[in-house]
Amino acid sequence: MRRRGFSLLEVLLATTIFFLAVLASLEFFGKAGKMFIKLKESEEEALAVCATLDKMKIDLIRAGQGLISALSRGILEGISAGDIKLSVFSKDRDLRLTADIPSGSTMFTLGSVEGMMPGSEVCILDSRKGEVHTVSMVNGKVVYIAVPFEFNYKKKDSSLLLIEKITFFLDPKTHVLRRQVNSSPAQPLLEDVQEFEFFYEKETNIAGIRFRLISHTEKEHALWVYPKNVGLGAFWKE
């Protein structure tokens, strides 16, 4: 018995159905790929925001660490909220003077100048007085400051501290939130930032930050911190 083959119409119909199925599959996988990329970007953004909030929280909590004596006497502040920058101060390390410092001097000598560079800030104090200065130059173990010392300081009675200054600010041109340590170049902390606001209330000793991302302007990310070391400095001052 002779077997009947497929007609041209049947072949065309089957081919059309096959191509429609292929196109539907491609569209499905294309949408699934776009959704995967969108979810991945959303997850990465959420992780970046969490990392930024954690980093800023740690820095704010450390404000005033090792500086309670200087804070209580009003020699310096643990947190400074300017117009466009938020700065946090803490002790980097103790420095060892090798000679007395006379009033009016613009230099002092150290046993070690590790970590010292132009732009570094130092705090010197004894039982009665203290002041903060910015380093202008380091030559060997001799450190020069921009403004002369106001008072005399005896080597045996004085403490000299290297200050760590961490500054946060938003670069309006690139929309990048940046973090700068001392006078080193500012490093990117978070991208795609639309606005960045901060405040510090001395009365309640509450520091807070708020920011929004360009991709999600309706959502605000916020953080409030009570820097205990700054609070202790204010308590002892009272």
Asked whether residue 97 is assigned to any structural domain, the reply reads: yes
Q: How many CA atoms does the CB half-sphere of 75 hold within 13 Å?
A: 28
Decide if pLDDT at 17 tops 60. yes
| b/e map 90-121, b = 16+ CB within 10 Å | bbbeebebeeebeeeeeebebeebeebeeebb
Asked whether residue 69 is assigned to any structural domain, the reply reads: yes
112's CB contacts (< 8 A; 6+ apart) are 95, 96, 141
Decide if pLDDT at 143 tops 70. yes
Decide if pLDDT at 31 tops 80. no
Q: What pLDDT, on a 0 to 100 scale, did the predictor assign at position 238?
A: 47
Asked whether residue 30 is assigned to any structural domain, the reply reads: no
pTM above 0.85, yes or no: no
Q: Quote the CA–CA distance of 209 and 212 in Å, as a whole number.
A: 11
pLDDT tens-digit profile of 83-102?
899 999 999 999 999 999 99
Asked whether residue 231 is assigned to any structural domain, the reply reads: yes
Asked whether residue 48 is assigned to any structural domain, the reply reads: no
Asked whether residue 178 is assigned to any structural domain, the reply reads: yes
Q: Using alpha carbons only, what angle is made at residue 203 by residues 197 and 207, rounded to the nearest 5 degrees?
A: 30
Asked whether residue 194 is assigned to any structural domain, the reply reads: yes
Q: What pLDDT, on a 0 to 100 scale, did the predictor assign at position 39?
A: 63
Amino acid at 168: F
Decide if pLDDT at 3 tops 60. no
Decide if pLDDT at 153 tops 80. yes
Q: What is the mean pLDDT of residues 180-200?
A: 93
Decide if pLDDT at 180 tops 70. yes
Residue 11 pLDDT class (50, 70, 90 cuts): low
Which strands make up the sheet holding 206-213, listed edge to edge? 193-201, 206-213, 216-225
Range of the domain at 225: 58-237
Mean pLDDT for all residues in the chain:
88
pLDDT tens-digit profile of 44-82?
888 999 999 999 999 999 999 999 999 999 999 999 998
Q: What pLDDT, on a 0 to 100 scale, did the predictor assign at position 199?
A: 93
Q: What pLDDT, on a 0 to 100 scale, did the predictor assign at position 29?
A: 63
Q: What pLDDT, on a 0 to 100 scale, did the predictor assign at position 136?
A: 95
Give the count of domains, the chain.
Answer: 1
Residue 32 pLDDT class (50, 70, 90 cuts): low
